[in-house]
Amino acid sequence: MSKESPPELSAETERAVKCYGALLRATLSIRRDLSRQLGKFDLTAAQFGMMELLYRRGALTQRELAGELKVSDAEITHLVEALYRKDLAARKKRARDRRYNLINLTSFGKWFMGHAEPSAVRIMARRLEALAAEEQEELIRLCGEIERERGEMTEEKEIDIERDYE
DSSP secondary structure, 148-160, as one string: HHHHH--TTTS--
pLDDT at residue 6, rounded to an integer: 78
As a whole number of angstroms, the distance between CA 63 and CA 72 comes to 9
13 belongs to a structural domain:
no
Domain of residue 121 covers 18-149
162 or 119, which is more confident? 119
120 belongs to a structural domain:
yes
Taking all residues of the chain, what is their mean pLDDT, rounded to a whole number? 86
126 belongs to a structural domain:
yes
Residue range 49-68: mean pLDDT, rounded: 94
45 Rama class: left (phi>0) / alpha (psi -120 to 50) / beta: alpha
CATH of the domain at 126: 1.10.10.10
As a whole number of angstroms, the distance between CA 87 and CA 105 comes to 9
User: Is the pLDDT score of 159 beyond 70?
Assistant: no
According to DSSP H, which parts of 3-132 are helical?
11-38, 45-57, 62-69, 73-85, 107-128
pLDDT at residue 58, rounded to an integer: 95
Instruction: Identify whether the C-beta of residue 138 lies closer than 8 Å to the C-beta of residue 127.
Output: no
Which 3 state secondary structure label does DSSP give 21? helix
pLDDT band at 128 (very low <50, low <70, confident <90, very high): very high
User: Is the pLDDT score of 152 beyond 60?
Assistant: no
46 belongs to a structural domain:
yes
59 belongs to a structural domain:
yes
- What's the pTM? 0.74
86 belongs to a structural domain:
yes
User: Is the pLDDT score of 2 beyond 80?
Assistant: no
According to DSSP H, which parts of 86-132 are helical?
107-128
127 belongs to a structural domain:
yes
User: Is the pLDDT score of 1 beyond 60?
Assistant: no
5 belongs to a structural domain:
no
* Count of domains observed in the chain: 1
Q: How far is CA 112 from the centre of its chain?
A: 20
